[in-house]
Structure formats: C-alpha cells, structure tokens
Amino acid sequence: MTAVALLDWRSADHFDASGDKPCVLCEKPTPLRSDNGKPVHKVCAEEWIDAHPAKEDER
C-alpha cells in the first residue's frame, strides 16, 4: 500500500471569492489557492506532491 498526500484545505484561506483562475497544473479553472496563493485544485496539488517526494534535506 502506498501513502497518498492528503491536504487539509478546510480553511477559508484556500478559497478566493474573487473568481476562478487557471490551475497551475491542469489549467482548468479553480477558485482554490495553495498556501502560496497559487491557483490549484486540491487533487492536483496532492497528485503533484505524490509525484515529487521531498528530499531528506527539504523536510
């Protein structure tokens, strides 16, 4: 069994009421924002994390 990244985006900080912008990963519109304010779907961010595991010195 493989671990899967699950992000907790329940905070309202992850929703931008000003409107949809293209997801930086799939380019489809989303009102969601990453911790850095980038437009990205939660599922896209989780898939990206799974595909790019952190190196030891980045943890």
Structure confidence by residue, pLDDT tens digits, 43-53 = 999 999 999 88
Quote the pTM value: 0.82
Residue in this structure with the two tokens 């010195």, named with its chain if needed:
57
57 pLDDT above the threshold of 90: no
pLDDT digits (tens, 9 = 90+) for 2-49: 667 789 999 999 999 999 999 999 999 999 999 999 999 999 999 999
Domain spans, the chain: 1-58
Cβ atoms of 51 and 45 closer than 8 Å = no
56 pLDDT above the threshold of 70: no
Cβ atoms of 29 and 22 closer than 8 Å = yes
State the Cα–Cα distance between residues 20 and 18, nearest whole angstrom.
7
